[in-house]
Amino acid sequence: MALADVTLETVLSLAGPTIAAAGFVSGVWYRMETKVETVRRDATTAVHAVEKELAEFKLKVAEEYASWETVKAIEARLTERMDMLSENVMKMPDAIVGRIVDMVKLAQLKS
């Protein structure tokens, strides 16, 4: 087929299916791109929502729960106080005996 043999009818017979195929491919491409964009937008929205929830949770934890240093400081104070109470309890029998001796002495002095 020579260039001189190409007619308008031949060009139109080839152009029609080519244009239809290009239109079909473009339509499929557009639909897929639209779906990908929708999924991308939904994923971005979900990520932002999760990031917001995580930030709120971190803030709640920071506000409501004691830090490790605070727990250690409280433990040290409680241990110190328990040691003091233990010493006082251990000294009680001696104090009681001392009071009894003092009362006996007073009783002897009065008689």
Rounded to whole angstroms, the Cα distance separating 100 from 105 reads 9
- Residue given tokens 């029998």 in the structure block: 93
Rounded to whole angstroms, the Cα distance separating 26 from 6 reads 28
Structure confidence at residue 79 (pLDDT)? 95
Rounded to whole angstroms, the Cα distance separating 90 from 80 reads 15
Structure confidence at residue 83 (pLDDT)? 92
Positions of the chain with pLDDT under 70? 1-4, 111
Structure confidence at residue 4 (pLDDT)? 65
- Residue given tokens 């491409």 in the structure block: 29
Structure confidence at residue 1 (pLDDT)? 54
Structure confidence at residue 66 (pLDDT)? 75
